Structures are given as C-alpha cells and as structure tokens.
Amino acid sequence: MRIPAALFIFIVIAAAGCRVYRVPPREVLDARFASLSAAARDDARAFDILTKITATKRLSGSDGAAKAVEAGAQIMRDAGFQNVHLEPVKVPAWTRRSESASIISGTGGGEETLRITALGGSPATPDGGITAEVVEVQSFDELHNLGDAAKGKIIFFNRPMDITDPSPFHAYSGAVDQRGRGGYEAKKAGAAAALVRSMTTRLDDHPHTGGITSFMDDEKTPVAPSAAVSTVGARKLHSLLKAGRGPVRIKLQLDCGFGPDVDSYNVIGEIPGVEKPGEIVLVGGHLDAWDTGFGAHDDGAGCAHSLEALRLLIQLKAKPARTIRCVLFINEENGLKGGAAYAAANDPSKHFFALESDSGGFDPIGFACTQKEPFFGAVRNIVQSLAPWKCDLLRPGGGGADISPLQQKGVFCGQFLPEPTYYFDFHHAETDTMAAIDRDELERGAAAIAYLLWAIADL
C-alpha cells in the first residue's frame, strides 16, 4: 500500500544544501511492522527457502554453486520478483580433494589422528605429504624471531579468539590474521607448512576453514600448504609441546588447488519502485559457501533473509517509492568477484541504500548503517517500531564485503545485526547445516529486514 505524501513527516537539517527525507508517521510504521509480523508468523517461507539454497555444497566454481544459482533464480520467479536475471561473473575454482594429519611422535608415541581441514587457497603438499616438527607461535613477530629455527618446520599458529571479549566479531578480528596470512608468513620464514587454530571459541573437534587472504590478493604470492586444526586438536598439540618431552612431529597431507577460472553469476531480482524506479534500495547476501559444511548461517541465511524480505513485501502488495532489489552475490568467500562485478555493471550513483545480511540467521537485534545525517537520524526513527522484537538497535557502521565496492563509491550502506553469541560455533565448519537454524529466528530476521527496506525505499 502507498501512503499519501501529505501524511509524511519531514526530517530536515537546517544546514544549506542538506537532503530532505520523509519518514512515515509512527502509526504507519507500526502498522507496517504489525502486518509483516503477522505474515512472518502465519506464512513463513524463509526456512523453506534456505532448505533449497543449502541443498548442495556451493563453493565458487563448483557444480553445487551452479545449482544454487539456478535455485536462487527460480525462487525469485516463483515469488513474483520482476526483472529476474543472472549477471555474469568469472570466479576462481579451488578444489579440496583429500586431507589428513596425524601426530607421529610425542609423549605417548605411536600415531594419533588430528582433525584438520585445508584453508581455502592452500596449495597441495608434495606427493607423500609433509612430515616435520611442529613449532608453536602466537604472533607473526614470534615467528620472525625464530630465524633459522623455523626452516623446514610446521608452524602452529595458536592464538585463540578472546573468550572474554563481549563482541564475538571483535574477538574474531583479533585472531583471524593468522588464518589470512599465516601460510604466507610461514613460507617467508622457510617453513614447510602452517597449521592454524580454528577461528571459534567453542571447544570441539570440528575444524573451521576460511580463505588465505594473502593468496586471494595475489595468486602469485608464495604460500605454504596451510590447514586449520580443531580447537580440541590445538589443545592437544599445545599440551604435547608444553610437556617438553621431545619434538612433536606431524604428517600432513593436503590434496587441493586451483583450476582454471569458471563462469558463474550473481542472481538479481526486484520490486520496481512506483515513484522513483531508477533509484535502488539493495539487499543481499552471498550465495557461495565453504565446502566443509552447507553454509546455512554463512551465508545461506543472508540469502534467505533477502529473498524472503521481498517475498513478504510482494505478498503484502507493498508499493515502495524506490526499487527494492535483491542480489545473491557469488564468490564472497574466496575472491569477492561477485561484489566487484556488480559494482562495475551497475551505476553506484543510482543506489540510494544497500544492506547486507552476512552475520547468520539468529534472532534480529538491529542494524548498522552509514552515520551521516540526516540519513542516520531518519533510519533511527524508522527502527523504533521494531522495539517489540527488541530489534531497534541502530549503530554506526557500514556494509559487508559484497557491498563494500558500492560503499567506496559513496553509497549509504548497512548491515543486518542478528544475535552474535553462537555464530562462530558454526562459521566455516561442517556443523553449519540446517540443524543449526531456528525457523522462527530466521523468519523474524527476514521480516525486520523487509520492514526496514520498505521504509527506506519511501524516504
């Protein structure tokens, strides 16, 4: 439904030249939230959508990713999206074939299996694998100070995420450089391979993969064969090394590597605007996922949020002033080619706002967005209607990785914020499956996003 222009409240900043935004009255916003809440309760489809997206593993360049592209486009068509199309993207094709590790010496003697998984972008080990002594470090400086003692060794990066940090994402950022650059730094130091403690605070035997970012930045950069070890395995290794009863040696075998780049696609569909169809409010998530699991939280949930948000608006016969566009980006995990291709093919100046969902499918708590007035103040007014769901948090911030090229061009960007406590329990691990998803939490997230998109499209 459209709200007559006369009913809009105007948000104005007195400074000359400032843009003027119109915000629907509180009763209109509350009514929209109520209608979306009812739709999310009575006709929820986000979980079913996510089931279709996670039907295959879908690392960029794989057959599973190609199937997910087609599934995403079909979901859009079935829901009544308009202008559904595939946008070409050339993506890297890195393949994991086999991997294993075992401790072959230590206090107990014999051989003990170690749960590991190759890091994305890692080269393979030589035929027969690598057998070498393990050296533990907690920083790159500590590695550099080893000098010749690092040569030929397997470097074990064992700086954990800080469990006392109240922000899991901040704790992640304080440890993830080991995964992103560990293989590069190990190679530079003359080491044979790198093992990295999994990026999670959970103590379990499920290793978490992720991309070697130095390798993605420049595929000619030499990188040592690199793998993540589970937190249980990391604790075991640390205990053996701390005992000091002799060298600890590991046999590591990784069969993985890059093939030629592959043709793939971003998936795009929209609800055309009725007043300003040339101005776009974008929402999206990334369709690809690491191949260890099925990427239900990362980022199947973000794709389901985005698809369901537009489906709900279509179901309610919303007529937004601006076009609301859904983009399922490809290749976020190991290249960001989809986000770059979208920004190159679509004029950033025509984008009014872009929102990304890439933090999981847990209960919604709010949003982050560009802190520039009067836009930020208008959004702050909008999110107040989400208070019944305790989803009215608005904090300064920008968008996620896929919309970062748009943000660099000056587009106002934002992120959906779900409850973050347990996200890194599943992130990039084999446990990131539909079993980790709560149906009601996922649907509330989609409805909250739909509400925000609708209001911002009418500013």
- Which residues are known catalytic residues? 332
Q: Are 372 and 427 in contact (CB under 8 A)?
A: no
DSSP 429: B
Q: Degrees (nearest 5) of the Cα angle 111, 207, 402?
A: 155
Dig out the tokens for 434 from the structure: 């539909």
CA distance 341 to 335: 11
Q: Are 248 and 241 in contact (CB under 8 A)?
A: yes
DSSP structure string for 61-99 = TSHHHHHHHHHHHHHHHHHT-EEEEEEEEEEEEEEEEEE
Dig out the tokens for 324 from the structure: 């609301």
Query: How distant, in Å, are the alpha carbons of 35, 302, 455 from that of 3?
Result: 15, 29, 11
Question: Residue 14: CA atoms inside 13 Å, Cβ hemisphere, count?
Answer: 0
Q: Give the 3-state secondary structure of residue 336.
A: coil
Helix axes 26-42, 301-315, angle to 10 degrees: 110
Q: CA 417, 421, 427, 431 torsion: positive or negative?
A: negative
Q: Give the 3-state secondary structure of residue 253.
A: strand
Q: Are 360 and 301 in contact (CB under 8 A)?
A: yes
CA distance 292 to 146: 33
Q: Degrees (nearest 5) of the Cα angle 300, 323, 288?
A: 20
List, in sequence order, every beta strand (DSSP E) within 138-248.
154-157, 193-197, 226-229
Residue tagged 């776009």 (tokens): 280
Neighbour tally for 433: CB within 10 Å: 16
CA distance 350 to 347: 6
Residues in Cβ contact with 417 at an 8 Å cutoff, skipping those fewer than 6 apart = 359, 364, 365, 366, 367, 368, 393, 395
